[in-house]
A and B are shown apart, each in its own frame.
Chain A
């Protein structure tokens, strides 16, 4: 076919440009994935008693995870628009994450040094990142599936962003059963779980997010 014929065919009946599709594609993945993550949490762990809501224990994870998740989603949307500058949002994500880690680790300052190992390692330091990444996996897979075809600039990076977003939601589910109450623990081991999910997301994204 000649190019001018192609142009005629494309423009004939084209109508107005459709609205951006990132939200339409990705939100269902989150809406489906979060309940899946919650089910996994209930299947694998003992949920905290309802009274825990009155303590800080769940909130030191829920709030940071929500913040980071919102920023990650915003970055993902921007990164799905060719030629749009996603660097400021990327810096916001990394800056917020860094700040949260500093604040979490900083909580050690107010505690006697003899308590530090316990505050850093808790009861579940090795299982936490693995469980977190595992619980987030359904969300990540759904994001990758729904996100295929988005015009991302860098498939690997977009996959990492999806891994981060998935793990933030996963963390919000995980926090309903996680008994650890030390902010330093959260800073260290939840971050490890986020990084695990991001690494997997990057690897899968590089292969799946072609367009």
Chain B
């Protein structure tokens, strides 16, 4: 199920969700179960360093979905609606975690930089360690923007929320940071 494409998942979920919205409680239960499974893999990727927190966050998202059922607009895909809410809860989570445990957030980033994907060789590992050193040479604003968007995979709006900035400002910082990185590696 986790490996189904987004449109496959939507095709699977939508009929259950529609019946659930109409009042079919068994359909609602099934829809939430499908969503929970999908959420789990979505969140596991983004909380790689805090696997204990994944299930808590899955439950938080499910609660939000339930609370805001009325905000679902039938003209958008259910999974898009779910993902928007999940992202919001994730940003909330990071905001809280960032305030209380700065180190764990930086660990998360370090892992993202140094993580050795299965198919890459040792060369890629070296490159990523070099990357983290290069990033440290960037001005803070550019570095944070690149870390959040390129390494953690947040989109512009999410990164902007997390940094208390605007999407346009984030784009500028990413652009400048990448230019500076390119200059640093002598391109």
**Chain A positions near chain B (C-beta within 8 angstroms):** 1, 3-4, 6-8, 10-21, 80-85, 150-151, 153-154, 210-211
Contact = CB atoms under 8 A, between A and B. Distances in A.
Q: By DSSP majority rule, is chain A's interface helix, strand, loop, or mixed? A: loop
Contacts of A11: 20, 25-26, 28-29, 32
A154 B22 CA distance: 29
Contacts of B36: 3, 7
A21 B81 contact: no
B32 A7 contact: yes
Given A3-B58, A82-B84, A151-B85, A17 B72 contact: yes
B66 A84 contact: no
Given A3-B58, A7-B32, A8-B29, A21 B161 contact: no
B158 to A, nearest CB: 11
Interface residues of B, number: 36
Given A14-B25, A154-B157, A3 B59 contact: yes
Interface string B32-59: 1100100000000000000000010011
B122 to A, nearest CB: 39
The 8 closest A-B CB pairs, nearest first, are A16-B23, A82-B84, A11-B29, A83-B80, A18-B70, A17-B69, A17-B21, A83-B84
A21 B68 CA distance: 9
Given A3-B58, A18-B70, A82 B81 contact: yes
Interface of B: 20-23, 25-26, 28-29, 32-33, 36, 55, 58-59, 62-64, 66, 68-73, 75-77, 80-81, 83-85, 88, 92, 157, 161
23 contacts: A6-B59, A6-B63, A7-B32, A7-B33, A7-B36, A10-B32, A10-B63, A11-B25, A11-B26, A11-B32, A12-B25, A14-B28, A16-B23, A17-B20, A17-B70, A17-B72, A18-B69, A81-B81, A82-B68, A82-B71, A82-B85, A84-B75, A211-B88
Given A3-B58, A6-B59, A83-B83, A21 B70 contact: yes
A210 B95 CA distance: 12
Nearest to B58: A3
B28 A81 contact: no
A84 B70 CA distance: 13
Given A6-B59, A20-B70, A13 B84 contact: no
A16 B21 contact: yes
Nearest to A82: B84
Contacts of B29: 7-8, 11
A82 B59 contact: no
A151 B75 CA distance: 17
Contacts of A1: 59
A151 B71 contact: yes
A82 B32 CA distance: 17
Contacts of B33: 4, 7
A147 B97 CA distance: 26
B66 A14 contact: yes
B62 A20 contact: no
A19 B84 contact: no
B25 A80 contact: no
A80 B157 CA distance: 16
Contact of A153 (B23, B68, B73, B157): B157
